[in-house]
Amino acid sequence: MYCKYCKEHTEQEVERVRKKKASELRAGQRRFRRVTSGFGGFPRPKFEGREKPTKRVSIRFRCKKCKKAITRPTQRAKKFEIVEVR
């Protein structure tokens, strides 16, 4: 695949992007904690209905030469599997 940092085609390592733990110090999380705390309960209704049939999958390509990573836009997939090709 083309590496925009090396400016040439190089071999890439493929990995799935996992969600990291949410920070408690972010503004949205602070607002959520303030609204949900104390008397009054949860601010939003529980989600009723079925899950979506597909999930969004982000893929990260890491250049083996310069070790820089490029994350592609997310795509929907029912099943995601990384298979090693030799």
Mind listing the pLDDT tens digit for each residue in 26-40?
999 999 888 888 887
Element (H, E) at 79: none
pLDDT reading at 73 higher than 90: no
Q: How far is CA 55 from the centre of its chain?
A: 11
Q: 37 to each of 22, 46, 66, 68, how far by Cα in Å?
A: 18, 17, 47, 42
pTM attached to this predicted model: 0.65
For the purposes of burial, counting CB atoms within 10 Å of the CB of 58, is it exposed (0-12), middle (13-18) or buried (19 or more)?
Answer: middle
Q: Confidence band (pLDDT; 50, 70, 90) for 41? A: confident
Nearest Cα neighbor of 15 from 70, 60, 72, 57 is: 60
Q: Using 50, 70 and 90 to split pLDDT, how confident is the model at 52?
A: confident
